[in-house]
Structure 1
């Protein structure tokens, strides 16, 4: 029973929501961290995406071996799908970045990224390198190695193309090449302004039987093995249980994982480095003596551990200062930097010191006055005195020294103005427009960092037992909720208002067409007043409007909606409509996208306020569309932009008779994977088609799909896809209705597609289905399953893996035209 209780307490500690305060850690965890001080070995794991990392291995390295582990993910997962909400592209990348940081906070590792933009599935590394630019990605990998200074590099994938995702293979190739170049002063020598060369000792591939599943032949005896399934009594949890908690942070990918116990063997193939091929960590000097001047540190750490009293952890503070002084005398290195950070946390934890620098507002804007509190509580018998708190580059300081008496709350106030030119809190990799391959990051020192530094950080100076002690405390937003209790979130600097177009794309179907476009002005501060103006493309114009586009004294978090009638120009194509608000002498042209989920801190993306205008010949047949929710896409919004009346359907409660009011019904992406009600009530859709309805199903995956035939006629789903978005799509039967009514589809309609043609195509199907398109990626056999159409009763069934969920928000005219055809009833019916 005691072990179960300890496990619950530990899980609470490591999984505590990032939206809440992490209390001082227990003495057992303090001792665990002290034992980590002894070790200087560092391991860098490399792969391509969030979720690729082997959390079992990272948890074992960090908590079993008590080494320092890092994970370098080439991408932020921007090109994937989202099972918990509507965010895609940049928003999804930000969510997955935070999920990785949550995972690392659980297993203990550090997190790094390159500038690579996840452009979607790639079948080989050549395509990936062509998109990204291999040398730039190699430079990023070398930069991270030179900063983290690992002894060992471990890859999740090998260098053989065709076995797995092309990004995966690319990550292994980059890891191997960076292993050799990081120690070469002639490789990326421009980096040496900030870092020194660094040569890791060894590199391995973390293999498994999965890589041999196609051909068999996995021989365990050929590889180095390491049992990562141990148990740590100080933490009250096994490394595999810890790894499951870490992996379950990837909620946007539905990767919740049950914990496992007992032996868990990982296998490694030696690639290059020092001679020993029998043990993973052989030939690695793990002592402090390998650092110049470090020989005495090991002895002092041993003394620290031996004399530690779990009932009086503050008794260790003086010894921690002794070790800190010795480490500060060493030459600069990654070991020195990280161990000093660990010592800072140990001193704070041994003193039971609670500290929180907070304000009552989640946001501030340039020129705002911010009133913040620094709360300090000394919960130990250590002698602690507050000396000062200050903010870098901002006039905000409190230097009223005072002794922090035992368990007494001390509040120090800091009032400061946000400078007029202070940058907004946009994720740094999104500050510049990016192409399809690489995010543009002009500041070399930002490359590799997982996220922005906090907007403001207080430098707090104390005296602890007579010794000067300095630490940083980031500014947070503190609030209280009747359900969740105390909530702590990041503080962000944002514009005073956010401008949001209610539709991402507006579709015009003829020149000179007049259409109402709506946008919201949301105030992010009290009493905002200003005037809205629009920057239209050449030839487009606002229909004469007597009212000024003004708003006055708009309260914080309140919005005002403007509906403006705009007449299209005469030239077909894609255009941009930009919005600006003038508030006094401040011009704002930004939209603030807020991303809020319970498992990660609140996030913001601050981008230009603009809407895509598309002028294309799009005819629709029918008017009322039913939409069945799937895993999250914006197809329903695109349908509204086309002129359809769209209603969301609760398939569980709606009657077969009520379904008949819809001209067509469309299921969101992966609807059968995530919508259990649709799985149960799919018979209603067969009745709907029998009576004449059009039912279109977007792609689903075989993963988590029950072994039930949900389709009017049998079809078998596969992982077939066409990843090259420029691939020519040929028409199998050019006379088929879906290529001719109500729009004549031509090859031009497949121009300008983004990321891919489609994914998860059926590989086999009943003869009732008629395939419409055929295409293939370079070097592959033709794929005919991207779009299948079948008559059923008086109606029509469409199954498609075409990526409408990507093309419609991107404003691809041909995607709108083809979708209108798929939702149209057959003319003969």
Structure 2
């Protein structure tokens, strides 16, 4: 008896093409036209790798056309996970945002049919030049990762989104093109990264293209179509019922954290490609490259078998071709090892399951468990065809479960099984693999070569289901999932995670102390993530810091989601600076847990978890504040409101649509969150209330907005024009233009030291032009560039004042940068009374 192995994950089987499904509405079903499309894809052997720098850089139109239209195996390699960007749907930044954008890319690929890969490079924020990018990244390691992906994926052609001209775009973009060309050559050289050859072979890609457009030539030189290979990506698929540009818009719209919702377009749409490397320049995209089985051993027989299967395929009885698919699989299985062979075997395996209507789900009612837990999990199996399917065995290697069944699965008769699972005490937690060694400024540390490139972790627990289908043995991998029924959403299926028994959190992520030996109250919470948890909370303090009062910090028999709070009074040390207060729980069984669980939940991506060290940042700095009550107008989401509370302000969120002038007058200052004028429709319609507030003596501070999607209204008390100007080097020196100005002296005397230890950048989206009523405060620039003076603008307005700032307080304040607090306190200080 032949044995065929199917390594499938439920996420791959889900169809997201025809309807934009909430991921929770989890499906394994496939329409007959989708099966037909996948059968047609068996004809083609070409492979394309698209390379760029960030999530959302990829050209989904070209990927959709190549994958769904030409039916070539297509992949996107994003050098970073987008950690350094902004987030318009929530408060997550840095690693949390990177995880969201990773999942948004995977959601996009589920729609456009592509594969997804990453390198270990960290998106450290905007970079103006590839030299700066390579100063942050370890160039050799990123190049190694690109070569690794090429050697694994084995593309026939590589397409880069950006060119190699420094200064024409983001430095990460340019770096991605430079590395693409370098890797194109080096992937074929056995002397380059020879350690990889333990797992892969060298690979020679045939062509390298730049996917350009007239955008790249704006203001430079005339764009001529004659110089490029033209591809019409606007064709219509009668099988799929959509044009490839419509599919691309659905894919593009998954980048919701970046506000990239797109409308589908119909009709001819041309993409332009300039050939950089390879033979047959500027001819057809695959000119001189075989895209079918012609050059493979037994290629004619494989092709003829595929055509026979297609002619025999019936939408009403897809199971009729299962035996033929098994025969095709046997033919391809005899080929030498290659990415094409592996890919086509996987496609056939999936088609066999689709044609049989086979459904499998390993699930549990809880969303996570902990090491040493005992679970009773459920398995649902159903054959929805006349195919002869028999369940032979189920194994769950991670929990040492194995059981033989030898049970026939009759047509549409559901088999429900209950499986005992004992999770090992040594089972690792479900933290994203690239975050296991902590955050990174330039590179994530991943030591396991076989993990590099993968978009996400493999499922923590999977069952291997052994079946016979029409007499041939096959194996299916079925990951453990969390399943429940929501009264609104219906059936919800999400990933299942292994997490610690408790999560530790602090009431404040940053605690501000303004003098030596100052005392403040702090609450630490311990939340049980399983039932019957008992233990003791312990703290690790910086030198000279003390806990002056605290109740007993033990707890007993907490049930899942039950939380206990511990109130402590903390006394600061004597040396100015930034410190950490660390916490850990010692369970009754001796297990030590020092982590905080963060859950990320949005409807367009699977639920995610991140585990970070449980700690609070302690800042001892000479910070003076004037005024007490601040109103906050929400923007795209940031941590500034919490930082203001940490400074000692009373902060209230304002609904500007309903707030009266009388209500606004109670605030000593009003602050608008980042991108507030871009995202807050109530503010867009009611901004003139803030003019009256300032006229009556109020202080109004606006954090950065972007010109993109900004309504054409006179939002500002005096004209100003927002640009893309920014200072990306966080160490860039800032000069005080007017050292005696109130914003630099009241209530804190701002000094150069206040701009030390900033993270990621100085600021972004500075105004470039402004009315003469505005005063400038700071001047600075990135190395070698003209100075910028628009990072802080201020103007008197009536009895009050207006401040517009592009300084990146939304990053600096949550990071606990002491000087940022002192500067912000000055910006929101009320106008001194004469």
Normalized against structure 1, the TM-score is what? 0.98
1:568 alignment partner in structure 2? 572
Shift of 1:293: 5.2
Instruction: Tell whether 2:717 aligns with 1:712.
Output: yes
Q: Tell me: CA distance 1:45–1:807, structure 2 relative to 1, closer, same or farther (3 Å).
A: same
Q: Which residue of 2 aligns with 1:482?
A: 487
User: Could you tell me which residue of structure 1 aligns to residue 7 of structure 2?
Assistant: none
Q: Say yes or no: does 1:396 pair with 2:397.
A: no
Give the Cα–Cα distance (whole angstroms) in 2 for the partners of residues 141 and 410 of structure 1.
45
1:170 to 170, 175, 184: 175
- Please name the residue that 1:46 is paired with: 51
Equivalent position of 2:807 in the other structure: 802
1:598 matches 2:603: yes
**Residue of structure 1 aligned with 2:27, choices 22, 31, 53:** 22
Q: Deviation string for 1:610-636 (max 9, x for gaps)? A: 111111110101111111000000000
SS in 2 for 1:246: helix
Does the 8 Å contact 1:398/1:414 carry over to 2? Answer: no
3-state secondary structure, aligned to 2:549: coil
- Hey, what's the Cα distance between the residues in 2 that align with 1:650 and 1:715? 25
The more displaced of 15-24 and 804-813 is 15-24
Q: 1:631-683, CA deviations, whole angstroms, 9 ceiling, x for partnerless residues? A: 00000000011111111111011100011111111000000000011111111
Which whole-Å CA distance do the structure 2 matches of 1:690 and 1:759 have between them?
Answer: 28
Which residue of 300, 309, 316 maps to 1:311?
Answer: 316
Compute the displacement of 1:276 (Å). Answer: 4.3
Which residue pairs with 2:243 in the alignment?
238
Q: Which residue of 1 aligns with 2:190?
A: 185
Shift of 1:288: 2.4
Change (3 A) 1:164 1:268: same
Which of residues 738, 746, 749 is equivalent to 1:741? 746
Distance in 2 separating the partners of 1:21 and 1:434: 32
2:563 matched to which residue of 1? 559
SS in 1 for 2:335: coil
Find out whether 1:538 has 2:547 as its counterpart: no
Partner of 1:468 in structure 2? 473
Which residue in 1 is equivalent to 2:620? 615
For the pair 1:494 / 2:499, whether they are aligned, the reply is: yes
Q: Which position in structure 2 is the counterpart of 1:754? A: 759
Give the distance between the partners of 2:580 and 2:476, measured in 1 at CA: 47
C-alpha contact 1:458 1:475 (8 A) present in aligned 2: yes
Partner of 1:399, secondary structure, is strand
2:237–2:243: 8 Å Cα contact kept in structure 1? yes
SS at match of 1:401: strand
2:411 maps to 406
CA contact (8 A) 1:737 1:826 kept: no
Distance 2:19 2:146 in 1: 29
Q: What is the rounded CA distance, in whole Å, between the counterparts of 2:388 and 2:703 in structure 1?
A: 65
Alignment check: 8 A CA contact 1:631 1:668 kept: yes
**Shift of residue 285 of structure 1?**
1.1
The worse-fitting range, judged by mean Cα deviation, of 578-587 and 692-701 is 578-587
Answer with 278-287 or 345-354: which moved more.
278-287
Distance between the aligned counterparts of 2:633 and 2:181, measured in 1? 46
Contact preservation (8 Å) 1:10, 1:235: no
Tell me, yes or no, if structure 1 residue 643 matches structure 2 residue 656. no
In structure 2, distance between residues paired with 1:26 and 1:433? 43
C-alpha separation in 1, matches of 2:236 and 2:268: 10
Determine the structure 1 residue equivalent to 2:160: 155
- Equivalents in 1 of 2:200, 2:30: separation in Å? 34
Q: CA deviation at 1:340?
A: 1.6
- Inter-partner Cα distance in structure 2 for 1:292 and 1:724: 55
Once the two structures are superposed, residues 494-535 of structure 1 have per-residue CA deviations (whole angstroms, 9 ceiling, x without a partner) of 001111112211111111011111222111111222111110
- The partner residue of 2:689 within 681, 684, 687 is 684
Q: CA deviation at 1:21?
A: 2.2
Deviations 1:52-80 (A, max 9, x none): 00000000001110100000001111001
Contact persistence 2:764–2:806 (CA under 8 A): yes
Secondary structure of residue in 2 paired with 1:70: strand
Candidates 749, 763, 770, aligned match of 1:765: 770
The CA distance in 2 between the partners of 1:738 and 1:10, in whole Å, is 56
- Separation in 2 of the partners of 1:549 and 1:434? 30
| Mapped pair 1:578 → 2:558 | no
- Number of residue equivalences: 820
Task: Give the secondary-structure state (helix, strand or coil) at the position aligned to 1:796.
Answer: strand
Q: Counterpart of 2:405 in 1: which secondary structure?
A: coil
Deviations 1:464-515, CA, capped at 9 Å, x for gaps: 1111111111110000011100000000000011111122111111110111
How far is 1:330 from its partner? 2.1
**1:695 is paired with a residue of what secondary structure?**
strand
Distance in structure 1 (CA, Å) of the matches to 2:16 and 2:124 = 35
Tell which deviates more after alignment, 106-115 or 579-588.
579-588
The aligned residue for residue 655 of structure 1 is: 660
The alpha carbon displacement at 1:343 in A equals: 1.1
> Is the CA contact (8 Å cut-off) linking 1:732 and 1:774 kept in structure 2?
yes
Q: Distance in 1 between matches of 2:25 and 2:202?
A: 40
| Offset, 1:393 | 3.6
The whole-number CA distance in structure 1 between the counterparts of 2:366 and 2:455 is: 25
Q: CA deviation at 1:274?
A: 2.1
**Which residue of structure 1 lines up, in the alignment, with residue 262 of structure 2?**
257
Deviation at 1:290, TM superposition (A): 2.8
Counterpart Cα distance in 1 of 2:770 and 2:213: 34
Which secondary structure state, in structure 1, belongs to the residue aligned with residue 707 of structure 2? Answer: coil
CA–CA separation in structure 1 for the residues paired with 2:235 and 2:628: 61
Equivalent-residue separation in structure 1 for 2:626 and 2:559 (angstroms): 44
Q: Deviations over 1:412-432 (max 9, x none)?
A: 222111111111000000000
Corresponding residue for residue 737 of structure 2: 732
Which residue of structure 2 lines up, in the alignment, with residue 822 of structure 1?
827
Q: 1:99-248 alignment to 2 at 5 Å? A: 99-248=104-253
Q: Who is 1:4 aligned against?
A: none
List structure 1 segments (4+ residues) > 4 angstroms apart after TM superposition: 9-14, 292-295
The question of 1:527 aligning with 2:532 is answered yes
Alpha carbons 1:397, 1:414 under 8 Å: kept: no
Task: Give the Å deviation of 1:295.
Answer: 4.8
Q: Distance in 2 between matches of 1:507 and 1:214?
A: 49
Residues 549, 568 of structure 2: 8 Å contact kept: no
| Map of 1:70 onto structure 2 | 75
How much has 1:556 moved relative to structure 2? 1.0
Instruction: Please report how far the alpha carbon of residue 161 of structure 1 lies from its aligned counterpart in structure 2 after TM superposition.
Output: 1.0
What is the distance in 1 between the residues matched to 2:764 and 2:824? 17
What is residue 344 of structure 1 aligned with on the other side?
349
399-408 or 661-670: bigger deviation: 399-408
SS of the equivalent of 1:164 reads coil
CA distance in 1, matches of 2:121, 2:19: 30
Q: 698, 705, 708: which is aligned to 1:703?
A: 708
* Residue equivalent to 1:6: none
1:59-110 C-alpha deviation (Å, 9 max, x unpaired): 0001110100000001111001111011000000000000000000000000
Is 2:449 the partner of 1:444? yes
Uncovered stretches (5+) of structure 2, i.e. residues with no partner: 1-13
CA pair 10-542 structure 1, distance change in 2 beyond 3 A: closer
